Amino acid sequence: MDEQHVATAPAEAVQKLRYYQKGTFTVGNRLVAEEERTVQASTHRSNALTCGHRACQGCGEALGARYAVDAAMRATGNNLIAVNATGCLEVFTTPYPETSWQLPWLHSLFGNAAAVATGVAAAMRVKGKPHVRVLAQGGDGGTTDIGFQCLSGMFERNDDVLYVCYDNEGYMNTGVQRSSATPPAARTATTPALGPEPGNVFGTGKSVPKIAVAHGIPYVATATVADLHDLERKVTKAMSIRGARYIQIDVPCPLGWGAPSQDTILLARLAVECGLYPIFEAEHGVVTHVRKIRRVTPVREYLKRQRRFAHLFRDGRDDPRLARLQAQCDANIREYGLVGPAGEDE
Amino acid sequence: MLKQIEGSRAMAEGIALCRPEVICAYPITPQTHIVERLGELVKEGDLANCEFINVESEFAALSVAIGASAAGARAYTATASQGLLFMAEAVYNASGLGLPIVMTLGNRAIGAPINIWNDHSDAMSMRDAGWLQLFAETNQEALDLHIQAFRLAEELSMPAMVCVDGFILTHAVERVDIPDQAQVDAYLPPYDPVQVLDPAEPASIGAMVGPEAFTEVRFLAHYKQTQALRLLPAYAEEFRAAFGRESGGLLRRYRTEDAALVVVAMGSVCGTIKDTIDEMRADGVAIGLVTLVAFRPFPVEALRDALAGARDVVVVEKSIAVGMGGQLATDVDAALRNLPEPPRLHSAVAGLGGRPITRRSLHRLFRQATDAPWEGTHFLDLNEQVVGREIHRTRKTRRSGPTAENLLRVLAEPAREAK
């Protein structure tokens, strides 16, 4: 049996664990101290996003939202208000006259969730209820594209809002179009796999986590539905901080990515393990923690499981552009120091 | 208290007396002085318990107000022109959600060509957005309408826009009676929201609504506006009793008793029109004015009553629906439609982009309406020579260049020749 740390938490907050199934890197809740167990393991969980919603099978966003909002509710003693950008999450949770939300929830527009959340936070201050906190949430389209101006404004003013971006790398609600979070070479409805340069253009897109860090806000983190414990910990930490906070969660979309529903967690894990999706934390403009890759995986292992990248594997041959994607992963690994000796990630 | 004060600062002081709890500020001429003064009042502590938020755009300004209002705070913002267009999506959203935000609109033209001066194009662009739209004639009324707007908006749970002519009112220094806090507190009760984001009673606000209920949601919004037709005169009457002056209501009549010719207009131009009417009355012309205060809801019945006895109606408005004509005229026409003997309607567009509306031009316009009525829309003081030259030139040359710049060049020519 290996003795390791739970690889995602800073040293002081980590419980020493034994992995009973060698090689799996998974630990059942029953092996974790009670106070470290997932919110979902508690009978007192808030079920913020309760059953009956219309998300697709295997929806990474629904999973991420449930863990993120429940963790935020636990951290605030259920004194939480959610503001939602237009998008899948909004549509599949609130088809009139039904709602899956078990907390006060407001949807205004596609591009203004961060600003609306600012208004809610201001109202809480002026109403003498500063203990009621605000969580804004949206997809990558509502965050990195159309909602970006309001997001940057909220960051810059350091408004007391946690903004959670569920990043599924495209406009899935409208039928899988490209966003500024779509990776290079990915096929979407607006970056079809046609012509000499099929899929999304290399050298485009932006890293909103990096841009958030550049705002110098108190807390920025990336997370993944492949590590829900880490996600919960980051949300909990974010809620212990006042001011603008940003968490971006990699949430695979079976429909948009062209992958089987049961591969959501696998894909999320591979995205991290290949280096394409760096998982890190930053405070006040400085990266403070990086989640090390446990087993470095070639990016082709991640890509080949998704139909949006199928054109890279046509006729049984690897497209030369695979090398460019691998180079991007390698650059991430170097930039963030994603690979290191075992245990160095603490 | 009587003060000699700039319109914007007077409005700001009146708004502060309404105890707004969240103010979102973004600069755009000509409303900027209002939020600047409010910012001072918050910083100095004169306006207590108020969050003053400097946002990054008008879209954010109204979005922050939406969040604040939905969370139970009295929210205020101000904008003008391009700013209103930039927040257009949120304008519809605020009314769709039924949030009683009050917003000042410092009326200004919309570009291109960019123009910072007064007309009503901005207000007209949002006339169907579901907001109450009230037009102020004077700075006193501008201040007073804000107090009434908060009360009306919150009673009906729908947003209200107070439309104030840019520069003509916002930047004019004149005598304004600033009420005291006790008077306003007695008139305007604290905001008691009909819906609120509250962890103790979680509600989802802003759900997706399909064909099964969308019509009903819209009907109820329209119904609420018709309620405002009843409340506006009642609140104006209460206001008169409490503050001792006439402000607000649906519309006001000026010398319409026996008038064969009645002018309909909104905003500050009504002062000039009244002066013109006085002069024409002295010459024996039976002419009067109806000043519309409420544009949304549009007071169809009150207007019909006011115009029923007229032989001619001249609508003077500071906006143009390009390709159609006067927007206000179209609405006035709807009010007259079912009269047994409707008056003849004459539509005039005036004062676009800040062009002065002079008594001399109004005299000519009103006489022409009865003596030589025009077809369609009349553009007051249109420089027909310049327009004719431009039309001719663009017909002659395919690559004729930008229209606005060409017009300016033509206008500059006489000056150059004089040198």
Q: Are residues B200 and B275 in the same domain?
A: no
List, in order, residues 6 or more apart from A23 with CB less than 8 Å away.
Answer: none
pLDDT band, residue A341 (cuts 50/70/90) = low
Q: Are residues B285 and B354 in the same domain?
A: yes
Average confidence score pLDDT of chain B: 96
Domain-embedded: residue A118:
yes
For A114-150, how does the pLDDT look when each residue is reduced to its tens digit (9 = 90+)?
999 999 999 999 999 999 999 999 999 999 999 999 9
Show the domain range for A222: 45-336
Q: Count CB atoms within 10 A of the CB of residue B118.
A: 31
> Can you tell me whether residue A5 is helix, strand or coil?
strand
Q: Are residues A26 and A158 in the same domain?
A: no
> Can you tell me whether residue A4 is helix, strand or coil?
strand
Q: Are residues B161 and B273 in the same domain?
A: no
pLDDT band, residue A15 (cuts 50/70/90) = low
Domain-embedded: residue A346:
no
For B328-385, how does the pLDDT look when each residue is reduced to its tens digit (9 = 90+)?
999 999 999 989 999 999 999 999 999 999 999 999 999 999 999 999 999 999 999 9
Single out the residue in B224, B243, B262 at which a domain terminates: B243
For B51-65, how does the pLDDT look when each residue is reduced to its tens digit (9 = 90+)?
999 999 999 999 999
Q: Are residues A29 and A73 in the same domain?
A: no
Q: Are residues B141 and B198 in the same domain?
A: yes
Q: Are residues B195 and B276 in the same domain?
A: no
Q: Which has the minimum average pLDDT: A7-21, A287-301, B396-410?
A: A7-21
Show the domain range for B152: 2-243
Cis, peptide link before residue A136, omega less than 30° from 0: no
Instruction: Decide which of B17 and B414 is more confident.
Output: B17
Q: Are residues B259 and B324 in the same domain?
A: yes
Q: Are residues A28 and A63 in the same domain?
A: no
Across the range A169-174, mean pLDDT stands at: 97
Residue A345: is its pLDDT beyond 60?
no
State the Cα–Cα distance between residues A47 and A70, nearest whole angstrom.
6
User: In angstroms, what separates the C-alpha of B201 from chain A's closest C-alpha?
Assistant: 7
Q: Are residues A185 and A251 in the same domain?
A: yes
pLDDT band, residue A43 (cuts 50/70/90) = confident
Residue A93: is its pLDDT beyond 80?
yes
Single out the residue in B243, B260, B286 at which a domain terminates: B243
List, in order, residues 6 or more apart from A278 with CB less than 8 Å away.
Answer: A222, A272, A290, A291, A332, A335, A336, A338
Identity at B335, one-letter amino acid code: A
For A207-247, how does the pLDDT look when each residue is reduced to its tens digit (9 = 90+)?
999 999 999 999 999 999 999 999 999 999 999 999 999 99
Subunit contact A119:B71, Cβ cutoff 8 A: yes
Domain-embedded: residue B356:
yes
Across the range A339-344, mean pLDDT stands at: 63
Q: Does B202 touch chain A (CB under 8 A)?
A: yes
Domain-embedded: residue B296:
yes
State the Cα–Cα distance between residues B79 and B58, nearest whole angstrom.
7
Q: Does B327 touch chain A (CB under 8 A)?
A: no
List, in order, residues 6 or more apart from B73 with CB less than 8 Å away.
Answer: A119, A122, A123, A126, A127, B21, B22, B51, B191
Contacts of B197 in chain A (CB under 8 A): 81, 104-106, 120
Report ipTM for this prediction. 0.95
Write out the two tokens for B86.
């930039």
Q: Are residues B327 and B219 in the same domain?
A: no
Q: How far is CA A141 from CA A146, A180, B59, in A?
A: 6, 7, 17
Residue A5: is its pLDDT beyond 60?
no
Domain-embedded: residue B234:
yes
> Can you tell me whether residue A46 is helix, strand or coil?
coil
For A193-203, how does the pLDDT look when each residue is reduced to its tens digit (9 = 90+)?
999 999 999 99
Domain-embedded: residue B7:
yes
Residue A1: per-residue pLDDT: 35
Residue A13: per-residue pLDDT: 56
DSSP string, A67-110: HHHHHHHHHTTT-EEEEE-SSHHHHHH-BTT---BSS-EEE--S
Domain-embedded: residue B21:
yes
Q: Does A14 touch chain B (CB under 8 A)?
A: no
pLDDT band, residue A25 (cuts 50/70/90) = low
Q: Does A72 touch chain B (CB under 8 A)?
A: no
Residue B279: per-residue pLDDT: 98
A82 within 8 A of A135, measured Cβ to Cβ? yes
Q: Are residues B260 and B402 in the same domain?
A: no
Contacts of B93 in chain A (CB under 8 A): 108-109
Q: Are residues B98 and B164 in the same domain?
A: yes
B107 within 8 A of B120, measured Cβ to Cβ? yes
Q: Are residues A88 and A10 in the same domain?
A: no
Q: Are residues B97 and B165 in the same domain?
A: yes
Which residue in B19, B22, B58, B204 has the most chain A C-beta atoms within 10 A of its own C-beta, making it the best mutation to test that interface? B204
Contacts of B21 in chain A (CB under 8 A): 123, 126-127
Is residue A242 within a helix (H) or strand (E), and if so which, with residue range?
Answer: none
CATH code for position A317: 3.40.50.970
Is residue A253 within a helix (H) or strand (E), and if so which, with residue range?
Answer: none
Domain-embedded: residue B385:
no
Write out the two tokens for B180.
């005291």
A204 within 8 A of A184, measured Cβ to Cβ? yes
For B123-181, how does the pLDDT look when each residue is reduced to its tens digit (9 = 90+)?
999 999 999 999 999 999 999 999 999 999 999 999 999 999 999 999 999 999 999 99
Domain-embedded: residue B14:
yes
State the Cα–Cα distance between residues A278 and A329, nearest whole angstrom.
9
Domain tally, chain A = 2
SS (H, E, C) chain B: CEEEEEHHHHHHHHHHHCCCCEEEECCCCCCHHHHHHHHHHHHHCCCCCCEEEECCCHHHHHHHHHHHHHCCCCEEEEECHHHHHHCHHHHHHHHHCCCCCEEEEEECCCCCCCCCCCCCHHHHHCCCCCCEEEECCCHHHHHHHHHHHHHHHHHHCCCEEEEEECCCCCCCEEEEECCCHHHHHHHCCCCCCCCCCCCCCCCEECCECCCCCHHHHHHHHHHHHHHHHHHHHHHHHHHHHHHCCCCCCCEEEECCCCCCEEEEECCCHHHHHHHHHHHHHHCCCCEEEEEECEEECCCHHHHHHHHCCCCEEEEEECCCECCCECHHHHHHHHHHCCCCCCCEEEEEECCHHHCCCCHHHHHHHHHHHHHCCCCCEEECCCCHHHHHHHHHHHHHCCCCCCHHHHHHHHHHHHHHHHC
List, in order, residues 6 or more apart from A36 with CB less than 8 Å away.
Answer: A15
Residue B120: is its pLDDT beyond 50?
yes
A307 within 8 A of A257, measured Cβ to Cβ? yes
A33 within 8 A of A42, measured Cβ to Cβ? no
Domain-embedded: residue B147:
yes
A171: left (phi over 0), alpha (psi -120 to 50) or beta: beta
Going by the DSSP 8-state scheme, the letter that residue A142 receives in this structure is I
Angle between helices B58-70 and A113-126 (to 10 degrees): 50
Q: Are residues A125 and A266 in the same domain?
A: yes
Domain tally, chain B = 3
Identity at B24, one-letter amino acid code: C
Burial class (CB in 10 A: 0-12, 13-18, 19+), B179: buried
Q: Which of B63, B6, B58 is closest to B34 using CA atoms?
A: B6
Residue A17: is its pLDDT beyond 80?
no
β-strands B287-292, B102-107: how paired?
unpaired
Residue A232: per-residue pLDDT: 96
State the Cα–Cα distance between residues B305 and B290, nearest whole angstrom.
11
State the Cα–Cα distance between residues B147 and B157, nearest whole angstrom.
15
B318 within 8 A of B265, measured Cβ to Cβ? no
Q: Are residues A2 and A89 in the same domain?
A: no
- Alpha-carbon dihedral sign for residues A73, A76, A77, A80: negative
In A10-54 the beta strands, taken as DSSP E runs, fall at: 16-19
For B272-310, how does the pLDDT look when each residue is reduced to its tens digit (9 = 90+)?
999 999 999 999 999 999 999 999 999 999 999 999 999
Subunit contact B90:A101, Cβ cutoff 8 A: no
Single out the residue in B243, B260, B275 at which a domain terminates: B243
Subunit contact B93:A108, Cβ cutoff 8 A: yes
State the Cα–Cα distance between residues A191 and B153, nearest whole angstrom.
46
Q: Are residues B24 and B165 in the same domain?
A: yes
Q: Count CB atoms within 10 A of the CB of residue B174.
A: 14
Looking at chain B, which residue has its C-alpha nearest residue A132?
B199
Q: Are residues A110 and A197 in the same domain?
A: yes
Residue A188: per-residue pLDDT: 98
Domain-embedded: residue A343:
no
Average confidence score pLDDT of chain A: 92
Identity at A92, one-letter amino acid code: F
Residue A3: per-residue pLDDT: 40
Q: Are residues A23 and A69 in the same domain?
A: no
Residue B417: is its pLDDT beyond 80?
no
Residue B395: per-residue pLDDT: 94
Residue B263: is its pLDDT beyond 60?
yes
CATH code for position B127: 3.40.50.970
A128: left (phi over 0), alpha (psi -120 to 50) or beta: left
Contacts of A94 in chain B (CB under 8 A): 204, 206-208
> Can you tell me whether residue A314 is helix, strand or coil?
helix
Write out the two tokens for A287.
């990266």
Residue A6: is its pLDDT beyond 60?
no
**Number of DSSP helices (H) and strands (E) in chain A, helices first:** 11, 10
pLDDT band, residue A16 (cuts 50/70/90) = low
User: In angstroms, what separates the C-alpha of A257 from chain B's closest C-alpha?
Assistant: 26
Q: Are residues A32 and A68 in the same domain?
A: no
Residue A2: per-residue pLDDT: 40
Residue A30: per-residue pLDDT: 72
Contacts of B24 in chain A (CB under 8 A): 119
Q: Are residues A138 and A107 in the same domain?
A: yes
Q: Which has the minimum average pLDDT: A1-5, B51-55, B198-202, B405-409?
A: A1-5
Q: Does A126 touch chain B (CB under 8 A)?
A: yes
A136 within 8 A of A70, measured Cβ to Cβ? no
Please measure the distance between the N-terminal and C-terminal CA atoms of chain B and give it in whole angstroms: 53
Q: Which of A35, A33, A31, A36 is closest to A19 using CA atoms?
A: A31
Q: Are residues B22 and B148 in the same domain?
A: yes
State the Cα–Cα distance between residues A198 and B80, nearest whole angstrom.
45
Residue A27: per-residue pLDDT: 66
For A265-283, how does the pLDDT look when each residue is reduced to its tens digit (9 = 90+)?
999 999 999 999 999 999 9
Subunit contact A119:B22, Cβ cutoff 8 A: yes
Domain-embedded: residue A219:
yes
Residue A10: is its pLDDT beyond 70?
no
Identity at A289, one-letter amino acid code: H
SS (H, E, C) A148-166: HHHHHHHHHCCCCCEEEEE
Q: Are residues A1 and A30 in the same domain?
A: yes
